[in-house]
Amino acid sequence: MKVPANHAPHPDSSPALGKRWIRQRLRRSVRAMLLSITALLFVAAVLDRIFPLRLPAADTGSTVVLSRDGTPLRAFADSDGVWRYPTTARQVSPLYLQSLFTYEDRWFYRHPGINPYALLRGTFGLLRHGHVVSGGSTLTMQVARIVAPIPHTVGGKLVQIFRALQLEAHLSKAQILQLYLDHAPFGGPIQGVEAASWAYLGKPAARLSHAEAALLTVLPQSPSLLRPDRHPEAARRARDKVLKRLRDQGIWSDAQWHDAEIEPVVARSLRAPLDAALLAERLHQQQPQARRIVTTIDANLQRAVEDRVSDYLSRLPPRTSAAVLAVDNATLEARVYVGTAAFADPLRLGHVDMVRAPRSPGSTLKPFLYGLALEDGLITSQTLLTDAPQDFGGYKPSNFDDSFNGPVSAAEALQRSLNVPAVDVLDHVGPNRFVARLANGGVDLELPAGAQPNLSIILGGASTRLENLVGAYTAFANEGIAGAPRYLADQPKQSRRLLSPGAAWIIRDILSTNPADVAGAPLEGTISRHDAVAWKTGTSYGYRDAWAVGVTDSWTIGVWIGRPDGTPSPGQYGAVTSLPLMFAVIDMLPIDRSRVHAVQPAGVRQVDICWPLGGAAASTPPVLCRQRRKAWTLDGAIPPTFAERDITAWSAGLLSVRVDAKGRRLSATCHGEGEHSMQIARWPALATPWLSADDAAQSALPPLAPGCAQDSLEVASPIRIAGLSQGARLRQAPNSTQPLHVTLQALGATGEVQWLLDGRLQGSSLGNANMQFMLPQSGDHRITALTRDGAFAQLLVHVDSA
């Protein structure tokens, strides 16, 4: 019987034919399957080309400025207003990764992007219950929805699956996980686990507890409804669900589950960090493309000082701001940077960074001037200077309180921040040279347009910045080498010599031994540190800027207080406004016991000198040594007291005269019995009103012998105060509400006369013109009239109380 050609043989009809038939069917199936796979791959490749995967660029996102230990100081949102802090799997807590993989995707490292079993389970639960019971999305599928918007529809789910497969084809598992860690939504503008950890919990994701790890695991499922700052109870329930699954699957123990479950859900109000806000803004402007900027700031210190500044300024006048900069002397790294008292406060102009704003430095430059004068051999620490009304070519400085002290040492003049002696020293050093030396050390002074360096610079007649001052003051802890403050961890160290080691050591010693009666000196016990603080204050003209700068072995701290718009703050000045805050900040800084106080340089030694001449006591006859002082000297230089300017009749210093047996002076052509030479140590003429009676008598010229012609040694024409008599007693008129006024004249004067009441300048008159001022207080008062050439007259009067 013939079998039709189109009829296949039955497999059982012949073993050989059966095997052949099976092989043919297998070949056809393999070919079909290969064709199907090829077609699918071709379709996938075409779809991949048509719908390419668009991933976030590696450098997109927000910028975060970090402290030295990685704590975020300030975050800058990206163009979409998103806060995102890049991190890696190694930088987050292992507890978070355990929770994430256990709850979201246990098979993440084994599936190709989709988990068929999970998808079927989720579909079955949806059909049976009418709502989602178990999600079928893998982490890869969640990343697909994160990187590109996909609708929550059946079609959207297919697109999500396709995108997940694309991700697996193009990226490694580590890269996919990285996308999730950085871009997962956590509510509001927060994306990524690191940003969420800081925003809600105030800590890095590396230090999460079990409960916190579970909370951050579940948040991306419904970030709006589970935000712990708005819905803490809903967030707690969702967190506990994660904790239970981790316990049930044996990932975490019963004890860990129990401890985590009783931990409350406490979240901060959602906000980006704003510590060292103006420094962060400054660095972000300098590096706009950087995503992580690591600074030298100590986050804990920064926050503590910002809080202290805010509390301190609450007691000061409205619109007052402040700036604080603390620098580690060894590294020049800034640990605290407060650019404003209240960031973004329009009343205080909180957007203005006062650490780098140019302001008048007041008297804060004086230490560098005295240090330069020491280097030049012009002074020792105890050189006699005269604090009295003086005229420097038409420039007539006065002290902050308009009082004068007469003869003072260089150290006293610096400690008390006296203006006239500082101008006198600058006149000898030279303004141009002083400005050049400061610039070499990193302090660039800004002068008014068209102005040249002049004597007013030392009293604040130029402008500089707080960061420049602080950098310069580090020279007093670093053997005269100043440096620019460093704000970035990788910023190179920039140091330049400002003073010699010896000059820096002497000035620091002077500034760290301020006597208790100096304005602003801390009271005993008010500062707990054991290392000495060298400090200097400054106040600009019109109470516009109040400064204080301090140096310890470890730290240099600068404080500025004032109004950013430059308007005056009457009554606010360095010693009473900035200095207390500076000491408060110093007390907050850690003490490094390994830092050794600078050793006294070889060129520095202490020598006894004599006033008024200024020479070494060992080489000065006792009769000429009116006051003995222990002075720090540099390189053996012991200069004499400054010569007086513009005085022809009186000459300070050693004077040799001829006298007769009765001690009367003999002029050039005059002779007398017992004629011999006599030496007189004369004080500066302008200092004589402040001398004791004994010192004044010892410094005075002997009277001329009878019959001798006048010589040029006599003081300029003597003057006499008219209008009141010596020892006069004054009383306010009955029922008068007006202050007690007096009108006086300086008889015999031909030029300008300065009038002082108890050492305070009251004004000036010309020749015999009237001078009127008031006597505001009861008690004894000293009235002094003083001419430019040193002639003076004094009256003691008493005002009775009403």
Name the catalytic one among 62, 93, 99, 104.
Answer: 104
Q: Is 409 a catalytic residue?
A: no
Residue 760 forms beta bridges with which residues? 403, 757
Q: Using alpha carbons, list the distances in angstroms from residue 60 to 83, 316, 334, 541, 591.
A: 11, 43, 29, 49, 41
Cβ-contact 523, 516 below 8 angstroms: yes
How far apart are alpha carbons 311 and 305 in whole angstroms? 10
What are the backbone dihedrals phi and psi of residue 689, each rounded to the nearest 5 degrees, phi first? -65, -20
How far apart are alpha carbons 169 and 154 in whole angstroms? 23
Cβ-contact 225, 231 below 8 angstroms: yes
How far apart are alpha carbons 225 and 227 in whole angstroms? 6
Relative to beta strand 555-562, strand 495-497 is: unpaired
CA-closest candidate to residue 511, choices 471, 548, 539, 470: 548
CB atoms within 10 A of CB 674: 9
148 token code pair: 């590109």
Name the catalytic one among 93, 137, 363, 569.
Answer: 363
775 token code pair: 């006597």
Residue 113 burial (CB < 10 Å; 0-12/13-18/19+)? buried
Cβ-contact 514, 529 below 8 angstroms: no
738 token code pair: 């007006």
Helix (H, G, I), strand (E, B) or coil at 221: helix
How far apart are alpha carbons 694 and 681 in whole angstroms? 13
Annotate 47-108 with DSSP letters as a single string: HHHHS---PPPTT-S-EEEE-TTS-EEEEE--TTS-EE----GGGS-HHHHHHHHHHH-TTT
Cβ-contact 710, 704 below 8 angstroms: yes
How far apart are alpha carbons 357 and 467 in whole angstroms? 9
1 token code pair: 């019987």
Cβ-contact 83, 95 below 8 angstroms: no
H or E stretch at 41: helix 15-50
Relative to beta strand 729-731, strand 792-800 is: parallel
CA-closest candidate to residue 637, choices 283, 282, 289, 380: 380
Cβ-contact 726, 713 below 8 angstroms: no
Q: Is 479 a catalytic residue?
A: no
Helix (H, G, I), strand (E, B) or coil at 686: helix
Q: State the catalytic residues.
A: 104, 363
